[in-house]
Amino acid sequence: MDLSRFPRRRYTQGFTPLEHLPNFTKALAATCPDGAGPNVWIKRDDMLGLTPGGNKTRKLEFLVADALAQGADTLITCGAPQSNHCRATLSAAVKEGMKCRFVIEERVPNSYKVDASGNNFLFRLLGVEAITVVPAGTNMLAAMQQVAGEVAGLGRKGYIVPGGGSNAMGGLGYVACAQELQQQFFDQGVQIDKIVVGSGSSGTHGGLLAGFLGNHIHIPLIGIGVSRDPADQNPLVHKEAQAVCDLLGLGITVSADAVVSHGNWWRPKYSVPNAAMVEAVQMLARTEAILLDPVYTGKIMAGLIGLARQGHLKPDENVLFIHTGGAPSLHAYEAEVLGLVDMPA
């Protein structure tokens, strides 16, 4: 597939590392039936460019290029109070000499605090122009359009970046990732049997699926939902994958069966910690010195651990974990991730 016909900004030099996790693999195996578990690998998209990396960078390379091509001078996006996507979008705006505004949705009531640590601190440090806070259930597109109107009233031009950067244009970032992985598997002589990826706003999961279909990569993708169960999540991923395939003109009809996700590890609510997440964050930090976050990657890795213990990930399979970043929000959940407070299982 040729992505060169789409404008693209480059925020990362070279490929992100593809690494084996020997210490984590051993620790996980010790907790699995018969003391045997999968060989775990990691794709370090936490090391992508923009402060300080994460999966949104790949999407923003295409979205920001589109914004600039349209003459925009202000990026407008939305997310939750500790949104990695908002932070990455703001970082891209700084790089490009643009302004940036957010609409923050309090999915958990009273969870936004202007002086909070984590990504909220980075919002202020990086110089977000304005933040509009709205209650859960707000029509986020309408709220962003209102902000775009305010920007237009100042004689400027806003560009709305969808939540999570998840639309067909943003999904091209993970088509590019699929091509990158294919090259790394060849260069490093690695055979991967299954891939575990986070499934939230659907851009990463759906874009990667489209990239795999278009590049004939026949490796099962297993999504771990961070906010929804499969009945609600899978249609979103399917829609995103189809939209990306259509944008690329692949002539592919994405099968509903190609979308696989699990929803057992996100509860009790989106962004609310649980014990399985804490175990996952601690295990990877204490075996490989790699940081996960409490909202996304911690729960996604909890899913990988759970699937291994349940036998869905077989002993001696090579399983790749896509690390989508998010470490700044660790600092907003210090007591929880250190296990100093009680929380749901």
Which amino acids are annotated catalytic? 83
User: Inter-axis angle of helices 168-188 and 230-248, to 10 degrees?
Assistant: 90
3 state SS of 322: strand
Tell me the C-alpha distance between 325 and 226, whole Å. 14
| Token representation of residue 100 | 């940036």
Tell me the C-alpha distance between 25 and 36, whole Å. 9
3 state SS of 37: coil
β-strand partners of 43 = 18, 322
3 state SS of 197: strand
DSSP character at residue 154:
T
Q: 106, exposed or middle or buried, with CB in 10 Å at 0-12, 13-18, 19+?
A: middle
| Token representation of residue 25 | 């693999």
